[in-house]
Amino acid sequence: MAFGRWVGFAALIAAVVLLWDLRFVLIDLFGSVVLAVAFCTLVRAVQSRLGWRRWPSLALSLLLVVVLVIVVVVALVPPFSAQFRELIEQLPQAAQALQQLIGGDLSSAIQSNISNPEKWNLANSFSRVVELAGNFGIGLVQLVFVVAVALMLSVQPEDYRQVAVLMAPSYLRRRIAGVLDSCGQALSSWMVGVLISSVAVGFMAFVGLSLLGVKLTTANALLAGMLNVIPNVGPTLSVVFPMAVALLDTPWMSLAVLALYVVIQNFESYVITPSVMHHQVKLLPGLTLAAQGIFTVIFGFKGLLLALPLAVCLQVVVRELVVRDVLDTWKRPGRFC
């Protein structure tokens, strides 16, 4: 092999290693791109509805997002904090109610551990609290970074798109620009589909919890709609708190809440999401499931959270650059004599 080819091969290996080391930074940047696309979709919707220029529409969209975040925080944090404190105070009673449902000696075990400080292992607990606080601080810094980059991308999207296009060779720039536009349109369509699905889940949870008489109906419905964005894990997490609230009130109601959420998630998984996503992005279910597993292994929880938008972009890239530009140009070889 010629020296130039060895140098190119070594450069390729070095680039792959560098990308692997920077994978967590890259997934944060992709999260910023997803947020920027969502925000730009909102800006375009405001422009089309009101007929304004981009900068007033951008300011109004930012104001709407800030107000929405404040409303969600006010609606979720205070009632959940109070209910969580009540849940901790009534933990023995909850364990006793749970014992009546599933049997066993769970209540006595919890009460003995609570009443015996020697079993608490305070040193271990303190180190875990410090570790949790450190992880929370790192996560908060990363969230600020993602939001800040998303805002920068949203202010000048065409300039950043042009920079990305100029990184490609001149003969590929028009094709890369088309692929980037297709990825942006696919992400926008996916976000509309997720919004429709989340609103439907939140509405069904609100109606069901209201009929059951569970406390914090609005907050739990908002939580169910928000966590619906996280595939597989989100719906499971959304049922934990309403079950705990129902268990403190009436033990049998927790089972009713579990049954309600199972019905809602099955209806969402087999009726709402397939019809909405097929209409919006035509995302294949097998690709979705494979993407969740692969991206979770590579990027951790962030990969699970961003698995669907990654799968949407991957589907566009494979269709445009692999299928159309490579596979569709292959011709059947002639017969050999």
Rg of the chain, C-alpha, whole Å? 25
pLDDT in tens, 250-263: 777 888 888 888 88
Inform me whether the pLDDT recorded for 108 exceeds 70: no
Q: Helices (DSSP H) in 156-284: which residue ranges? A: 157-166, 173-212, 217-227, 233-238, 240-249, 251-267, 273-280
Q: Which residues of 163-182 are buried (b: 16+ CB within 10 A; e: fewer)?
A: eebeeeeeeeeeebeebbee
Between 270 and 171, the more confident residue is 171
Mean pLDDT for the stretch of residues 117-138: 62
Closest residue by Cα to residue 311 from 335, 337, 287: 287
Q: Where are the domains of the chain?
A: 22-114+128-325
Please give the structure tokens belonging to residue 92: 């023995």
∠ at Cα 219 (214, 223), nearest 5°? 110
pLDDT in tens, 19-74: 888 888 899 999 999 999 989 888 988 888 888 888 888 899 889 988 988 887 87
Alpha-carbon torsion, ordered 154, 157, 159, 163, to 10 deg = 110
Q: Which of 14-28, 170-184, 225-239 has the lowest mean pLDDT?
A: 225-239
Q: Which of 14-23, 163-172, 212-221 has the lowest mean pLDDT?
A: 212-221
Residues 6+ apart with CB under 8 A from 57: 43, 44, 46, 47, 50
Inform me whether the pLDDT recorded for 337 exceeds 80: no
Highest average pLDDT, of 75-89, 220-234, 314-328, comes from 314-328
Percent share of the chain, pLDDT over 70: 77
